[in-house]
Structure 1
Amino acid sequence: MAQEDRSQQRDAADPRPLVGEPLCLDLLNTRWNDDGVRHDLLDSTDGLAVWLRSAGLDDRAAADQATLDAALQTRGILLELLDRGPSPQAMDALNQVLERGALHYRLGLGGPESHPRTDDPAWLPSWLAATDYLRLMADSPGRVKPCAHPNCVLYFYDTTKSGTRRWCSMAVCGNRAKAARHYERAKTGR
């Protein structure tokens, strides 16, 4: 589903400031800062249910403790990979998540079909996020970016033509940065 389509389908109960990113980034963005307050949507199975619904996975995975544990583990691995870069430990951890599932192909009435399967249903959202990370890194790793605002922990996939997007949201973090620059200029008299 295109980013714009997923953004428009945002779950009204989803409190996150940025939704609709590719699945691996959407999982990372289940934690965010809001005016100095840290939030974590995955602090409960209820929050997991919101994320699964928002990501379109609620009909494919249960919002239970096993799925939450798998999602938290995978989120930590993805965060380490994007924050610190690939290390042998992080790559091994991601490979362990990837080993939990595979794509199975079938011929259906409409032609070829692919169906992801995992050794444990609780790992399906995590496996899908891990495979999505591989896809993004293979296609255009330079388009996966952290927000440039120093207090923001969100990641986004830069879809701009020039590839120069800096903020998770111009309306939030971009405006905060502009306001801070304006304040500094006014304070110094420039």
Structure 2
Amino acid sequence: MFEMSDDKNLPHAPIVGDHLAMDLLNTQARNGEKVVEYWNSDADVLRWLQQNNIYPAEEQSTLADGELLLQAKALRSLAHQLITGFKQEKLQNISELNTYLHSYVSAPYLAPDNDGKLVITRISRGDTAASMLGQVAEAVAQLLVEGDATLVKQCEHPDCILWFYDRTKAHKRRWCSMATCGNRYKAAQFRKRKS
């Protein structure tokens, strides 16, 4: 059975995408020239799902070790292909995404939100990795149907590959995070002008 790791020292994928589909893509990042992989085990994927308030059914213990990781990375790769095509206004083959969507068996779940108000969410009830990732696949599908391709962006910092959905009022967001990439870029530009 999968166990959620409570180790707070493990690195977490950044949640800066303002859309679950963008945060899925951001489970891979870059640090200089090195690609950073945030998913290296089933527990990493489960931790990421929990970070995004997705809770698979607790009785899911039938998956082989590494199966969730394999399916999650496959979904991420598929999402990258579909979202890149969406930005380029090229229709992609959606049959693989439909496989995830058709596997998603869910049930309503009533729970308090961060403000203590009751909200109804859905939890996975299926016992497959594809079902456990169903909400994520649904977020990708919703982006493709309801999203605005011009608002799907990648950070403009040359060393960053993170994605985000630009929900700013003027739609002029440039950075995954102003506190990291925006400030680093501006500081580098300032140093360049000074020298």
TM-score (norm 2): 0.70
| Pairs within 5 Å for 1:9-24 | 12-13=8-9, 15-16=11-12, 18-19=14-15, 21-24=18-21
| Pairs within 5 Å for 1:100-139 | 100-101=103-104, 115=122, 120-139=127-146
1:95 aligns with 2:98: yes
1:170 aligns with 2:166: no
Deviation of 1:140 (Å): 3.1
Matching residue within 138, 155, 160 for 1:147? 155
| Pairs within 5 Å for 1:23-102 | 23-60=20-57, 64-85=65-86, 86-89=90-93, 91-101=94-104
CA 124–13 in structure 1, closer or farther in 2 if over 3 Å, else same:
farther
The alignment-based identity, stated in percent, is: 30
8 Å Cα contact 1:104/1:116 also seen in 2:
yes
Gaps of 5+ in 2: 1-6, 109-119
8 Å Cα contact 1:18/1:168 also seen in 2:
no
CA 178–123 in structure 1, closer or farther in 2 if over 3 Å, else same:
same
TM-score (norm 1): 0.72
The match for 1:6 is none
Deviation of 1:159 (Å): 2.1
Deviation of 1:98 (Å): 2.1
8 Å Cα contact 2:82/2:92 also seen in 1:
no
Deviation of 1:186 (Å): 2.6
Higher deviation after alignment, 133-142 or 171-180:
133-142
1:180 aligns with 2:188: yes
Higher deviation after alignment, 13-22 or 74-83:
13-22
8 Å Cα contact 2:57/2:125 also seen in 1:
no
Deviation of 1:163 (Å): 1.4
Higher deviation after alignment, 138-147 or 80-89:
80-89
3-state SS in 2 of match to 1:42 = coil
Q: State how far apart, in whole Å, the 1-side matches of 2:160 and 2:35 are.
A: 10
Q: Read off the aligned partner of 1:101 and give its amino acid letter.
A: Y
Larger helix percent: 1
Residues 6-43 of structure 1: CA distance to partner in whole angstroms, max 9, x if unpaired?
xxxxx944624621643222221111112333211112
Q: State how far apart, in whole Å, the 2-side matches of 1:56 and 1:129 are.
A: 11
